[in-house]
A and B are shown apart, each in its own frame.
Chain A
Amino acid sequence: MKKTVFVGALTAATFGAGMVHAQTTLETIQNRGELICGSNTGQAGFGAPDSNGVWQGFDVGFCRALGAAVLNDPNAVTFVPLTSQTRFSALASGEVDVLARNTTWTFVRDVDLNLTFVGTNYYDGQGFMVTRELGVSSALELDGATVCIETGTTTELNLADYFRVNNMSYEPVPVDTAAEAQQQYLAGACDVYTTDVSALASSRAAFAEPGDHAILPEVISKEPLGPVVRHGDDQWADIVQWTLFALIAAEELGVTSANMEELKAGGNNPEINRLLGVEGGFGEMLGLDNDWAARAIAAVGNYGELFSSTIGDQTPIGLARGLNAQWTQGGLLYAPPFR
């Protein structure tokens, strides 16, 4: 009996006996006054708590933009750390509203697992890092090597395919977390560390002697990483999708957190006006108010600002824009028009 009351009390206190499906995700979030965002358990640059327990990073920034758009408060976001194993169930069960946790968009996940990938916020690819001492310059010279790999991710499957296709053998050393993988790699327990190139770069940046390590030129897979929502709530999917597009479009249109107010007051670029809610009434179509995108941009800046403040070359992570540059700059970022 003691248990019952505890259950009752705690349930009521934390989430209420919430019947999520009775209302839309947007209503649930607005009633709750809080956006719950599934994040990494800790990956430098993309999502990790700092010493004050405040989550920081690129994926975290996207959630904050979403929080600003939906709830008018970038800090009304709760981050639930999820492992690669628990992430999809947490989303499916409604434990989190959106998953922003470098998750690769794949067919099976999109179709069979009933998830909705709303876009790509980081174009990545799987690569290899080796110590320079090893004298390897191409992944094709890795026959017989010991490879550290994070288990439960798509990288594991890509790796198996790559070595099989190229008729090479390898010895996988599966590890649970990125921190563990780096530890093993640095200790020399594996010759090669493979994961997304962005994560390789962020790991290398944190090493004592980054110059001793080389990232091999081969990129063996496409890893479009992006936010994910549940299947079946199109309104919420639209909001998440267009918040992402708003950040990307803002960079393309030259809207930054600094000049936004100015542009909002008196701009004559119709697309900027529509983006910032001066005309068009797009926010209301989404079920929000017209300032939604302006708030998102004010909270974390446009895509470029978010990138450079969390993972860009000014940060210890030091990633170049590469594929993640605007399409006008030779990258892949291409937001549909706000029209």
Chain B
Amino acid sequence: MSSTTDPRAAESAPPKRAFHPSMLLYDQRYRSITIQIFALFLLMLGAAWLIDNVINNLRLLGRTFSFNFLSQSAGYDINQRPIEYNSQMTHGRAALVGFLNTVILAVMGCALATILGVLAGVLRLSKNWIVSRLVTVYVEVFRNIPTLIWILIFGAVMAESMPAPSAFRGDDPASSMIFDAIAITNRGVYVPAILFTTELGVLPLGPVSPSLNWVLVLAVLVAGIFANKVLIDHATRVQNATGIRPKTWWKSLLVLFGPVILIFLALGAHLEYPELRGFNFVGGTHLRNSLLAMWLGLGIYTGAFIAEIVRGGILAISKGQTEAAFALGLQPGKTMRLVILPQALRVIIPPLISQYLNLTKNTSLGLAVGYMDLRSTLGGITINQTGRELEGMLLLMAVYLAISLTISGLMNVYNSRVKLKER
């Protein structure tokens, strides 16, 4: 340290001065590099230590690091199977089923949370005293009690308070199906399923093979939405040119629903109603208790947070905007739709993304009610049966990380599109 000159003198020293080791610490130009190299060194040291420990521990336990267990036979059954699966298939396949279940739950949960949240957020601002109080109670009660408790409570409500399938039996049953189509039981809700008389086969996509019928329906629906957008753009252009907006609603309806209905008719779509046979209802689509408990628990819990976000977003728009819109002669509904919401959306979307992320991560609580998501299959039974904690957990984390990054990536793209474009 004796060789150091006054730091400030070093900083202001002419650049031609010969390089001196102390400059690595005291010269601003080099200091950050020194620090970063030092940090890199520490990091590598830490990583090496961890990896060394893992290798040592694996050796002591007499194990190898391998993902071979994914191709072994799983041996356990999964009740909710979006793709074909039985207990003879591999652990990898079981993990895929779990992953799809996670995605299904996350999508359903986000949809429910958004709808509830927007409704509650707007209603909480309502002038109706009793409604706004009721919504406040909803928001506060759900926000301040852990989601795990809600999931357990909804699971208990589903199992305890709904009639058992046997209540539907006999000449004078204690319960009956709604419209002869929907059965709400303590084993879940049975709803009619759409079946086709003409099967087009399946689309082979590696491990997943969706039915071609549904792929076709989806394709037509997307095409319809796209065509509708063209239609509306055209109407806007006409309005800009002539000042008169052509009526588009019937064209929109036709473009959106016509082709889909045609496809359904052509493929011979019909409903399959659930009916009580043997121990359970058979036929139709079975929404299991575990799914419903998770869906309601996560959806309503997250909805309370979204309600607060929406309320905050609307309140953040200055009152002048509303007054200006009224001054222009816009009706309250249009004011909300054309003036307030587009602006509020910019405030709403970033926190909304993190709520979606939270919901998706919270799907990992599925085991509490026996929902077979990724964490219950790969991170639960598979790890338990094979003893591959390290590999299983790393894989589990990687998948969740990928899901999270995908969601935040997609939402960021959307966010940058609705962002205020300042000129």
Contacts and interface: CB of A to CB of B under 8 A. Distances in A.
The reply to whether A and B meet directly (CB within 8 Å) is: yes
A20 to B, nearest CB: 11
Contact of B159 (A88, A112, A134, A189): A189
A188 B166 contact: yes
Given A88-B387, A143-B278, A151-B370, A190 B187 contact: yes
A174 B186 contact: no
A159 B381 CA distance: 14
Contacts of B278: 143-145
B280 A176 contact: no
A173 B280 contact: no
Contact of B187 (A134, A142, A156, A189): A189
B402 to A, nearest CB: 23
B241 interface: no
Interface string B118-148: 0000000000000000000000000000000
A196 B278 CA distance: 26
Contact of B380 (A146, A152, A188): A152
B187 A146 contact: yes
B331 interface: no
A173 B389 contact: no
Interface string B56-86: 0000111100000000000111110000001
Nearest to B278: A144
A152 B382 CA distance: 8
Given A85-B380, A112-B387, A176-B370, A187 B186 contact: yes
B385 interface: yes
B79 A174 contact: yes
A171 B159 contact: no
B56 to A, nearest CB: 11
A224 B61 CA distance: 24
Given A151-B370, A189-B187, A172 B79 contact: yes
A253 interface: no
A172 B279 CA distance: 13
Contact of B372 (A84, A112, A174): A174
20 contacts: A85-B384, A108-B387, A114-B61, A143-B278, A151-B370, A151-B376, A152-B384, A161-B75, A171-B187, A173-B290, A173-B370, A174-B79, A176-B368, A180-B370, A184-B159, A187-B159, A187-B186, A189-B159, A189-B186, A189-B289
Interface of A: 21, 84-85, 88-89, 92, 108-109, 112-114, 133-134, 142-146, 151-152, 156-157, 159-161, 164, 170-176, 180, 183-184, 187-191, 231
Q: Which 7 A-B pairs have the closest CB atoms?
A: A188-B164, A160-B87, A174-B370, A189-B159, A152-B384, A113-B387, A144-B278
Given A92-B61, A133-B166, A188-B164, 5 more contacts: A89-B389, A144-B277, A157-B75, A161-B87, A189-B158
